[in-house]
Structure 1
Amino acid sequence: MFETPSRGDSLTSASPSTHFPQVLNSIYLRITWRLMPVLLLAQVLAFLDRVNVGTAKLQMATDLQLSASAYGLGAGIFFIGYFIFEVPSNLLLHRLGARAWIARIMLSWGLVSAAAMFIQTPTGFYIQRFFLGIAEAGFFPGVILYLTYWFPAHRRGRMTTLFMTASALAGVVSGPVSGWIMSGMDGVQDLSGWRWMFLIEGLPSVLVAGLVYWVLPSTPKQANWLNRDEKALLETDLAVAEQQKHEHRLKDLFTPITLMFSLVYFLLLMGLYGINFWLPTIIKGSGINDTLTIGWLSAIPYMCAAVVMNLVARSADKTRRWGLHVGLSALVASAGFFTTVMSDQQIAMSLFGLTLASAGVLSALPLFWNLPTQRLTGVAAAAGIALINSIGNLSGFVGPSVIGWLIDRTQHTSAGILFLSITALLAGVLTLLYSANNTTTRNQRI
């Protein structure tokens, strides 16, 4: 079919992307169509089961007598269980294989999410959210690691963004569908609409777990839809990308740069979860009371973000300036949150600001992963990705709790949104400083 570079050739000089660009593009296109639809579906369900509590709050808070602080604690306690089991889960994925482990994670979170229909007290809400975090731990960083098995860095930015487009799509789906279920099923079998919502939106994850197990190969070597020559060419192309990395040991993970990555991710996720968990409440505070209408309006920021984030990813992969794009996107998010604060609860201006914030945050997050994955490889990549993700996701606990406390103290959402504007601003500044320093270092080496 074609000749791959011989073992005696330098991988760099015999780069497949130079010698076989059309063949290689065809292989990566086939990989994309084989893997990404399943991963997109899985991420939509993961995000839906994680953040539908934001819409459920509109009814659940009254039934369970939850204050804003209590709801923020319950929404955020998910990330405590998530944090504890994140690194072990990713190490097991690296050891046992992506296919079986990702399927196991989906089965677990689907069952635990559906079980939320049985919550009767605030304590029960806290317990369910904690175990949902344990069940889902390892899914997102596992997929990020999984993509490194199939795509080199200059292609992976678009794939990671495509995967995280599912987060925006879940936001588009979650509001209207959750609002429709809660409105239409409220009172059926004497159950509140939010209970039916958790059941109906949790069970699809159980079914898709089976699809993941049967469809996804763990590595390119297990892909029966690639022939031997294609696998060899793919292996060589990925090896060229690996030459630009340095092998790290597990004990080397706690370095200033890894902790910096964790802090930036922490700050970026603060904005994402602020939007996810409080968007319906912010819209309701603007004078909209109908649950279904709130659901539809909640979809607008995510719809716009789904388009913008893919355009930004295309630009970032073309220029290979991922840090610059992450930093600028974070600054846009900060401006969006600040616009929302200044909107004085006018629904049009609030939605514009939230749309800007959503587009900025969701553009920054997937491209961020190009920064640590360029520096780590092997088992250190598995542990490092999970470490950064688990520390970063603690913002899912801190953010909702702080915002809930600020809302209870001020009786207004503006203080919480201003807090999100400041965190996004810090993320942008830190990333731009890292990007400038990294660019200078590269130029000095050249």
Structure 2
Amino acid sequence: MLLQQFPLLVNASKEELHTLERSVLKKLDYKFLIIVTLMLLMSYLDRINISNARLAGLQEDLGMTDIPANIILAKTKPRIFLPTIMLAWSAVTISMPAMKSPWSFMLCRFLVGITEGPFFPGVCLVTTSWYTKSESPSRMAIWHAGNIISNRFSGLLAAGILTNMDGIAKLRSWQWFFLFEGIASILIAGLGYWGLPNYPSNSPHYFSPEETEMAQYRMTVSSGGQSEDDEGGAMTGFWQAVKDPFTWIFAAMHFTIILSQSFKDFFPSIVKTLGYSKIVTYLIQAPPYFVTYGLTLLVSWSSGRHVEHCWHIIGAMCVSITGCVIMISTLNTGARYFSLFMLVTGPFIALIIHVPWETSVVPGPRTKRAALIAIANSISSTSHWFSPYFFLRSQEPRYQTGGGVIIAGGGATIIMCLIARWWVLRKNKQLEKIQEETGVVSSWRYCT
């Protein structure tokens, strides 16, 4: 019996266990989750702000023409690691108003990329160390609000800052944009040192001894008795991930989802083709992301409740593909704006359901799960090397080539989902066969 591994819980009644579990979840939901959401909001806001700053003259002013970290995190303390890398990228962001040339811009974005790179996979790793596989989708949807809300806030901030602060203190409006963002990021990073936990086995500042054991017990039950405690050195988990077909299946799926999301950095430019004024263009970026966030919460709750990912992702990608087809097929303003709601919704929902799926198939050791997340995230990031070149100004307003890339990414995501589901069912049949041969009963199965 798994409960016997935890001496402070073994004699507790069902009511006491339930109370302890609710206490653990309350602290995670109202402290960890809120701070991580704010941190991710600033991370994504930094990325999307470039596209709005471009509309405010950044490109013309500067004369421009058209893995290991995650494994380190598995061995260190997230409470220190995550806020520190946030401070690092904030320091670069707050220095960006001093940029004078294309080279200075590229250097700053390179440094921001290096410092931001470990953050998203790191948050995924920590989240899946605290929440069960039925809880992860809805919780990730909440903190992934940082991604969605940043796109809403960026347009609203752009309307307020980029249209009203140009020339104040002899600074361009886009320079004020980065200054405000950098200052806010530094303040939120400070909260991280106080409000983030480490892992269930080493967060005495966060939980009582009984709550600590409950946190460990919950995750042990969720993983079918397997422990996420590290086995061997950091490279042991890395090589375990490399040898696991799941790693490459989900890395390919992550890549295709991000490819279908390649419109994101060009969203303000796409909205601009609707023909509205600059301030209206900034403002009407918000509604598609507002709707997307609501739908993401709903679909991720359904995914967690049914512990099912494949068909939820496929449904979302079908919506995205349909929206993209409309976008490149008509010049009707109403139809094109409606298509943007569909275009945005699909990839965001797919990504937030995909991440808990890829982590649920690797309950332990933690270093292996960290390596899987890092590999998938690194491979998916390579899409940014080439996808911007498909959104050509010469093809405005339809962006046919960029739309074709989005459709291809959505279709490939559907294929990868079906492959992943086939492999999961195959692995579950192997578990059932072992159970029949040995007589050892286990309720744990891979999620579809």
Question: Compared with structure 1, are the counterparts of its residues 211 and 26 closer, same or farther at alpha carbon in structure 2 (3 Å cutoff)?
Answer: closer
- Counterpart check, 1:179 vs 2:166: no
1:154 is matched with: 134
Question: Compared with structure 1, are the counterparts of its residues 161 and 89 closer, same or farther at alpha carbon in structure 2 (3 Å cutoff)?
Answer: same
Alignment equivalent of 2:54, drawn from 52, 57, 80: 57
2:446 is matched with: none
Question: Compared with structure 1, are the counterparts of its residues 66 and 225 closer, same or farther at alpha carbon in structure 2 (3 Å cutoff)?
Answer: closer
How far did 1:22 drift? 5.6
Scaled by the length of structure 1, the TM-score of the pair is: 0.86
Matched residues in 2 for 1:184 and 1:223: separation? 48
1:361 is matched with: 347
Alignment equivalent of 2:209, drawn from 191, 207, 228: 228
Question: Compared with structure 1, are the counterparts of its residues 53 and 342 closer, same or farther at alpha carbon in structure 2 (3 Å cutoff)?
Answer: same
How far did 1:222 drift? 1.8
Alignment equivalent of 2:277, drawn from 269, 280, 289: 289
Matched residues in 1 for 2:241 and 2:12: separation? 30
Question: Compared with structure 1, are the counterparts of its residues 16 and 412 closer, same or farther at alpha carbon in structure 2 (3 Å cutoff)?
Answer: farther
- Counterpart check, 1:348 vs 2:329: no
Q: SS of the counterpart of 1:5? A: helix
Instruction: Please say if residues 35 and 192 of structure 2, whose CA atoms lie closer than 8 Å, have aligned partners that are also in contact.
Output: yes
Matching residue's letter, 2:377 = N
- Counterpart check, 1:323 vs 2:304: no
Matched residues in 1 for 2:350 and 2:182: separation? 28
2:255 is matched with: 266
1:28 is matched with: 25
Matched residues in 1 for 2:105 and 2:280: separation? 26
Instruction: Please say if residues 407 and 416 of structure 1, whose CA atoms lie closer than 8 Å, have aligned partners that are also in contact.
Output: no
Q: Which runs of 5+ in 2 are unaligned?
A: 433-448
Alignment equivalent of 1:385, drawn from 373, 382, 385: 373
Matched residues in 2 for 1:8 and 1:234: separation? 11
- Post-superposition Cα deviations, 1:87-112, rounded to whole Å, max 9, x if no partner, equal 22212222221011111111011111
How far did 1:65 drift? 3.8
Matched residues in 2 for 1:19 and 1:435: separation? 38
Alignment equivalent of 2:184, drawn from 196, 201, 204: 204
Question: Compared with structure 1, are the counterparts of its residues 323 and 223 closer, same or farther at alpha carbon in structure 2 (3 Å cutoff)?
Answer: farther
2:266 is matched with: 278
2:89 is matched with: 109
User: Which shifted more, 218-227 or 91-100?
Assistant: 218-227
User: Which shifted more, 325-334 or 241-250?
Assistant: 241-250
Alignment equivalent of 2:238, drawn from 228, 245, 250: 250
Instruction: Please say if residues 176 and 299 of structure 1, whose CA atoms lie closer than 8 Å, have aligned partners that are also in contact.
Output: yes
Matched residues in 2 for 1:422 and 1:109: separation? 33
Instruction: Please say if residues 41 and 166 of structure 1, whose CA atoms lie closer than 8 Å, have aligned partners that are also in contact.
Output: yes
Alignment equivalent of 1:422, drawn from 387, 393, 408: 408
How many residues align? The count is: 419
Matched residues in 1 for 2:14 and 2:139: separation? 18
Matched residues in 2 for 1:15 and 1:315: separation? 32
- Counterpart check, 1:6 vs 2:4: yes
Instruction: Please say if residues 252 and 416 of structure 2, whose CA atoms lie closer than 8 Å, have aligned partners that are also in contact.
Output: no
Matched residues in 2 for 1:197 and 1:279: separation? 18
Q: SS of the counterpart of 1:222? A: coil
- Counterpart check, 1:168 vs 2:151: no
Q: SS of the counterpart of 2:197? A: coil
Matched residues in 1 for 2:398 and 2:301: separation? 38
How far did 1:430 drift? 1.5
Matched residues in 2 for 1:411 and 1:353: separation? 13
Matched residues in 2 for 1:445 and 1:254: separation? 22
Instruction: Please say if residues 4 and 233 of structure 1, whose CA atoms lie closer than 8 Å, have aligned partners that are also in contact.
Output: no
How far did 1:218 drift? 1.3
1:238 is matched with: 219
Matched residues in 2 for 1:17 and 1:338: separation? 53
Q: SS of the counterpart of 2:361? A: coil
How far did 1:312 drift? 0.3
How far did 1:308 drift? 0.2
- Counterpart check, 1:39 vs 2:36: yes
Matched residues in 2 for 1:245 and 1:65: separation? 56
Question: Compared with structure 1, are the counterparts of its residues 158 and 411 closer, same or farther at alpha carbon in structure 2 (3 Å cutoff)?
Answer: closer
Scaled by the length of structure 2, the TM-score of the pair is: 0.86
Matched residues in 1 for 2:429 and 2:2: separation? 32
Q: SS of the counterpart of 1:153? A: coil
How far did 1:429 drift? 2.3
Identical residues among aligned pairs (%): 23
Instruction: Please say if residues 283 and 294 of structure 1, whose CA atoms lie closer than 8 Å, have aligned partners that are also in contact.
Output: yes
User: Which shifted more, 256-265 or 106-115?
Assistant: 256-265
Matched residues in 2 for 1:199 and 1:429: separation? 43
User: Which shifted more, 235-244 or 184-193?
Assistant: 235-244
Instruction: Please say if residues 21 and 214 of structure 2, whose CA atoms lie closer than 8 Å, have aligned partners that are also in contact.
Output: yes
How far did 1:408 drift? 4.5
- Counterpart check, 1:92 vs 2:78: no
In terms of fraction of residues, the more helix-rich structure is 1
2:383 is matched with: 395
